[in-house]
């Protein structure tokens, strides 16, 4: 675990100095956490009087965006994890170091996971606060919203594991990012269903979703470490 944290810290130090990656990481939380809530803040008072149904749909839709955010923020960092090191030709010394495949994979997952979850939660807190202030009463977080928040780390982890796994196997960062972009589609589907009041965040679907994503996270991690193979990486330099 110590070496995984060392990899995470090193990668984070690098990301901070890479605007291409860090910029994308920061832009999404600003849009979801600040810009959208501000829009809501200004349109809510009129919608409360004019069209409560539309207001409900908008609040639901925007709430669902946090799942999308949790899975989108880390894609850039996770895509860069191994593919970026291959492109910059820094990977060989890392592969020659005494760090296990599991630790190396975990380090690369953590550097994407922690910022994604932290930024998503911060944005969610700002969002809830602004909505409640604009409405003048306490609406969020409701039970569905809490449930989405519980799903945030699980979805983020799933997206990151898939993206890091892709990053191991492709030659470059762009290729990894393009392939990983596909994982957003199912989440987008859930968000859209939620927006139209067909929620998967109510029992029993919420529990089924929670358990299945949790199991997928564990299974995918084991599979990814098993299939990791330093040779896969070095052969793509």
CB of 133 to other proteins, least distance (A): 41
Site map for other proteins, 193-232, x if CB under 8 A? -------------------------------------xx-
- 3 interacts with other proteins by CB under 8 A: yes
Binder to other proteins among 20, 56, 90, 222 (CB under 8 A)? Answer: 90
What 8-state DSSP symbol labels residue 88?
A: T
Residues in CB range of 46: below 8 A, 6 or more apart: none
Among 67-75, 89-97, 128-136, 193-201, the segment contacting other proteins (CB under 8 A): 89-97
Binder to other proteins among 26, 94, 139, 193 (CB under 8 A)? Answer: 94
Binder to other proteins among 20, 38, 88, 192 (CB under 8 A)? Answer: 88
CA dihedral (128, 132, 138, 140) in degrees, to 10, reads -20
Residues in CB range of 8: below 8 A, 6 or more apart: 107, 108, 110, 111, 114
Distance CA 154, CA 98 (A): 30
Site for other proteins in 16-45 (CB under 8 A): 17-18
Q: Is 112 within 8 Å of 201 (Cβ atoms)?
A: no
Residue in 164, 206, 198 with CA at minimum distance from that of residue 183? 164
CB of 232 to other proteins, least distance (A): 10
- 100 interacts with other proteins by CB under 8 A: yes
Distance CA 5, CA 130 (A): 35
Distance CA 192, CA 180 (A): 20
Among 5-13, 58-66, 108-116, 146-154, the segment contacting other proteins (CB under 8 A): 5-13
The residue with tokens 């982890």 is 157
Distance CA 156, CA 177 (A): 15
CB of 8 to other proteins, least distance (A): 11
Distance CA 154, CA 71 (A): 9
CB of 22 to other proteins, least distance (A): 11
CB of 179 to other proteins, least distance (A): 24
154 token code pair: 């699980």
Q: Which is nearer to other proteins, 9 or 226 (CB)?
A: 9
Site map for other proteins, 112-151, x if CB under 8 A? ----------------------------------------
Residue in 156, 125, 159 with CA at minimum distance from that of residue 140? 125
- 171 interacts with other proteins by CB under 8 A: no
What does the binding site for other proteins look like in residue numbers (CB under 8 A)?
2-3, 6, 9-10, 13-14, 17-18, 88-100, 230-231, 234-235
């Amino acid at each position: 675990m110590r070496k995984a944290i060392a990899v995470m810290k090193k990668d984070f130090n690098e990301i901070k100095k890479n605007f291409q990656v860090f910029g994308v990481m920061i832009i999404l939380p600003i849009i979801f956490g600040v810009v959208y809530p501000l829009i809501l803040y200004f349109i809510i008072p009129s919608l409360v009087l004019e069209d409560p149904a539309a207001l409900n749909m908008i609040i639901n839709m925007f709430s669902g965006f946090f799942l999308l955010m949790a899975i989108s923020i880390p894609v850039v960092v996770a895509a860069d994890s191994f593919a970026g090191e291959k492109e910059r030709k820094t990977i060989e010394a890392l592969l020659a170091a005494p760090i296990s495949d599991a630790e190396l994979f975990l380090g690369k997952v953590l550097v994407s996971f922690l910022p994604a979850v932290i930024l998503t939660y911060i944005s969610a807190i700002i969002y809830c606060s602004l909505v409640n202030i604009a409405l003048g009463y306490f609406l969020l977080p409701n039970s569905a919203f809490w449930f989405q928040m519980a799903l945030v780390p699980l979805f983020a982890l799933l997206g990151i594991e898939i993206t890091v796994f892709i990053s191991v196997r492709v030659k470059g960062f762009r290729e990894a990012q393009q392939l990983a972009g596909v994982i957003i589609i199912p989440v987008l589907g859930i968000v859209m269903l939620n927006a139209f009041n067909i929620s998967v965040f109510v029992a029993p679907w919420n529990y089924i979703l929670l358990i299945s994503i949790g199991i997928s996270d564990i299974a995918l991690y084991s599979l990814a470490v098993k299939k990791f193979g330093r040779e896969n990486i070095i052969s793509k330099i």
